[in-house]
Amino acid sequence: MAAARSAPGPPRRGPAAPRPPAPARRGGTGRDREGPGGGGGTGGGRDGAAPGQGPLRLPGVVEAWRRPEGDGGSVPASTSTAATTRCGTSGCWCPHTASSGPGRGSWRSPPPRTCPDGTPANPLCPGATRANGEVNPHYEGTFVFPNDFPALQPDAPAPGDSDHPLFQAAAARGVCKVMCFHPWSDLTLPLMSLAEIRAVIDAWAELAAELGASYPWVQIFENKGAMMGCSNPHPHCQVWASSFLPNEARLEERTQRQYRDQHGVPMLLEYAEQEARRKERLVVENEDWLVVVPYWATWPFQTLLLPRRHVLRLQDLRDSERDSLASIMRRLLIKYDNLFRVSFPYSMGWHGAPTGPHLQEDCGHWQLHAHYYPPLLRSATIRKFMVGYEMLAQAQRDLTPEQAAERLRSLPEVHYKQRPQETS
pTM: 0.76
Q: Which residues of 152-164 are buried (b: 16+ CB within 10 A; e: fewer)?
A: bbeebeebeeeee
Give the pLDDT of residue 19. 40
Short-list 199, 135, 178, CA closest to 6? 199
The torsion defined by the Cα of 242, 247, 250 and 256, in degrees rounded to 10, comes to -120
pLDDT at residue 227 in the model: 83
Residue 347 has what pLDDT?
96
CB 172 within 8 A of CB 50: no
Which residues form the catalytic set? 236
pLDDT of residue 305: 98
Q: Tens-digit pLDDT profile for the chain (424 aa)?
A: 456 665 544 444 444 444 444 333 333 333 333 333 333 333 333 333 333 434 443 333 222 222 333 333 333 333 333 444 456 666 554 444 333 333 344 434 444 444 445 456 799 999 999 989 999 999 999 999 999 999 999 999 999 999 999 999 999 999 999 999 999 999 999 999 999 999 999 999 999 999 999 999 999 999 998 888 888 899 999 999 999 999 999 999 999 999 999 999 999 999 999 999 999 999 999 999 999 999 999 988 999 999 999 999 999 999 999 999 999 999 999 999 999 999 999 999 999 999 999 999 999 999 999 999 998 878 888 888 889 999 999 988 888 999 999 999 999 999 999 988 755 4
Using CA atoms of 43, 46, 50, 51 in order, give the dihedral in degrees to the nearest 10. -30
Distance of CA 63 to the CA centre of its chain: 22
pLDDT for the residue 265: 98
Neighbours of 261 (CB within 10 A): 9
**Phi, psi (rounded to 5 degrees) for 211:** -75, -30
